[in-house]
Chains A and B, each alone.
Chain A
C-alpha cells in the first residue's frame, strides 16, 4: 500500500521533476558527462516481452555510456502512431525512436527526422540492398535494426494430429488453397486452415511482385489496377465461409491474438519475426516456416524488409548521443543476444554474427537463409499516408468476410480511400 508519506513524496517529486524538465528545455548542454548525463527520450512499440528486452538493452547501454541516460517509453502499435503524430505537430518527438517502414516517408518528407548521414553511425555491417529502405530522397533517415521476411507459419503437431502432410513451401496458390481446405475439412472443426490471407497488404504486395507489378510508382501513385485487386480478393472467395479460413466473427473475438496464436487455425501467413510471439501465444512446441505460394516458382516475390528502423528526431538537441545509441542498438552483438529474433534477424553483420541463435530463433534465421536466392531488393519506403491505407486494406477485407461488401464494392471503397489519401498528401 501507499503510505501517506510516500504519496506526498511522489507528488512533490512529480512536481519538482516537471519543473526540472521545463528548466532543461531552456539551457541544454550538448554533451553529457558521467556526473551530469544528458537524457535521451527513446520510445518503441511492442509488448511486455519487448519492453523487458529493451530495458535490458538500455541498462547495458547506460553502463557502457555513463554520460547518457535513456528515458524509455513504449505503447502498442496503433497507439504509437497516434502519439507520434501529435508530438510531431508540436515539435516534441522523442530524441530516438523505433520506426516502421510504413511511416518513414510521412515523417522524413515532413522534415521531422534527423538525416543520419550527418552523424556517425557504423554502417559497414549492412547489406547494401537493405539500406535504401531507410532512405527517402537520397538521404538516410532510418537504420534497419533487423530484417524480416514473409512466410507461412504452420504447427507440425496440429498437422500430424489431423493427418495432413506438412507443406514443402513449393506451392502454387491453387495448391495452397487446397491445403487450407484439407486442414479445415480433416480437422473436423477443431482447426481452421488459416486466416483470410487476402486481407494482408504485404502478401498482396508480394503477389504483385510475383507478377512483376510495382505496388506504388516512383511518383507515389498506385502501380496496380482495380482489376489486380479484384483478382486478389477473388482468390479467396471460394474459401470464405468454409473451414479453410476462420470466419470473421471468430477471428474478431480472438483479437488481439491471431487465429493461429489462439490455436484456432493451423497456419498463418505473416512476418517471420512473429515466431516468439506465436510460440508464447499458442504454447506450441515448434512452429515451422515455409515460403508463401507463387504461381511462378522462379519468382517468389519475396524480399527482406527492415522489420523496424531506428530513427532520431530532427529536433533532437543531442545528435551525437542519439547516434551513439542508435549505433549501439543496431550493431552491438550483446544487443543481438538480448533481442534474438524478436525484432527480426539482426540486419548488421556484426550483430548477427555475434548472436547465438537456438531453437525457434534458429528456425527464423534458417528460413531467411533458405530463401536467400529468391530475394529481390528491399522495398522503398511506401507513400505518405500508407499507414492509413494498410489499415483500410485489412478493414475492407474484413467487411468482405462479413459479407457487408461485394468484391467490387470492396475494391471501389479501397481505391476511393487510396486516391483520397494520395490527393491529401500530394
Chain B
C-alpha cells in the first residue's frame, strides 16, 4: 500500500509518459488492458449504484414496478425503532471494537518488535485468527464457546463470576462480538510490525542521549513515526467494522437477537430487503451507509493533518 503512495507524492511514477504525451497506440492498449476492470466497474458497480440510488426513493417490493415516494424511506428510517437500534448496535461495535483491536495489535507489535528470536513464529501464530475469524466456522465455534456451560462460562465460574451463557444475554452479546473482532488483531499487528521496522534506530539513539525514557520515546518517536500506519489501520478497520455480516448472521440465527442486541446495520439491511421484500427501504439504508462511510473517511483525512506525520513533511 505504502510504497507507491509515497512515490506518487513525489510524482515520479508518471513523468516519462508525461514528457512524450499519450500515443495513439498507448490509448488503444490502455483501454484494451483496462477493459475487464472497466466493464466490471460499469456493470457491477456504477450501474447498480445508480439503480439502488433510484430505488432508495421508491417503494419496491420486487413484484410490482417501483413506486416513486421521494424521501419517504429516508424520513421513515428515523422513526423506525429497529433501524435506530441497528445504528446503535453497529456504532458501539465500531467505537469499542476497533480501538480495542488496534490497541491490542499495537501492544503486541511493540512486544514482538523487541524479540530477537522467534518473531516469525509469533507473528504467524497471532496472524492466524485474522484469516479465519470472519468465517462461518468460527462464528459457530464462538457461539458454542460463549454458550451456557461453554468453556468461557466455566472459566469465569471458576473465578466466581457467574454470567451464564453470553449468547442468550442481550447485555453480553456485544462484548462477545467485540472479543471476536479483537481476537483478529493479527492483521493490523503485522502491518504495525512492518511499520516499526522502518523507524530509524538513530532517532532512538539521539533520544537516549537526551535522557528520554521508554514512555517519552514512545510518545515522541514511535507513535509519530508510526502514525501513518496507525491512520491506515484505523481507516480500514473502521470501514470494515461497519460492514460486519456473516458472524452476526450465524451467531443470531439470522435474526439479530437476542432482543435485537446483534442487529447489525448490514443484517437489518439484509432482513429488510430480502426477508421483508422492502428493497427501496433497504436501498435507502445502503445509501445512508455509503454516505456515512464517506463522511467518516473525509473526517479521518481532515483530522489526520493534526496527528499523522509523514516522513517527507517538515515538522
Contacts and interface: CB of A to CB of B under 8 A. Distances in A.
A and B touch in the complex (CB under 8 A): yes
Interface of A: 78-79, 81-82, 85-86, 88-89, 110, 112, 248-253, 255-256, 385, 388, 391, 395, 398-399, 402, 404, 413, 424-425
B151 interface: no
Interface in B87-113: none
Contacts of B148: 250, 253
B165 A249 contact: yes
A250 B148 CA distance: 8
B255 A249 contact: no
B63 A402 contact: no
Given A78-B254, A252-B167, A88 B62 contact: yes
23 contacts: A79-B254, A85-B62, A88-B62, A88-B63, A248-B258, A249-B165, A249-B168, A249-B258, A250-B168, A251-B168, A252-B167, A252-B168, A252-B257, A252-B258, A253-B147, A253-B148, A253-B165, A388-B276, A395-B255, A395-B257, A402-B170, A402-B259, A425-B61
A205 B147 CA distance: 34
Nearest to B143: A253
A398 B259 contact: yes
Interface residues of B, number: 26
B81 A413 contact: yes
Nearest to A85: B277
A251 B257 CA distance: 12
Contacts of A249: 164-165, 168-169, 258
Contact of B275 (A81, A248, A398, A425): A81
**8 closest Cβ pairs, A-B complex:** A249-B168, A89-B62, A252-B168, A110-B63, A402-B259, A253-B168, A82-B274, A252-B258
A81 B274 CA distance: 8
B274 A86 contact: yes
Interface in B149-168: 164-165, 167-168
Interface in B212-269: 253-255, 257-260
Most chain A beta carbons < 10 A, residue from B61, B164, B259, B278: B259
Interface string B163-196: 0110111100000000000000000000000000
Contact residues of B: prevailing secondary structure: loop
Nearest to B263: A395
Contact residues of A: prevailing secondary structure: helix
Contacts of B313: none
B64 interface: yes
Nearest to B173: A252
B59 interface: yes
A394 B148 CA distance: 23
A78 B189 CA distance: 39
B167 A253 contact: yes
Most chain B beta carbons < 10 A, residue from A249, A255, A399: A249
A86 B168 contact: no
A85 B270 CA distance: 13
A404 B170 contact: yes
Given A110-B64, A424-B59, A85 B169 contact: no
Contacts of A256: 253
Contacts of A78: 253-254, 275
B170 A424 contact: no
Given A249-B165, A250-B168, A253-B147, A402 B258 contact: yes
Contact of B61 (A251, A252, A404, A424): A424
A399 B170 CA distance: 10
A385 B61 CA distance: 10
Nearest to A401: B259
Contacts of A255: 253
Contacts of B257: 252, 395, 398
Most chain A beta carbons < 10 A, residue from B59, B62, B169, B278: B62
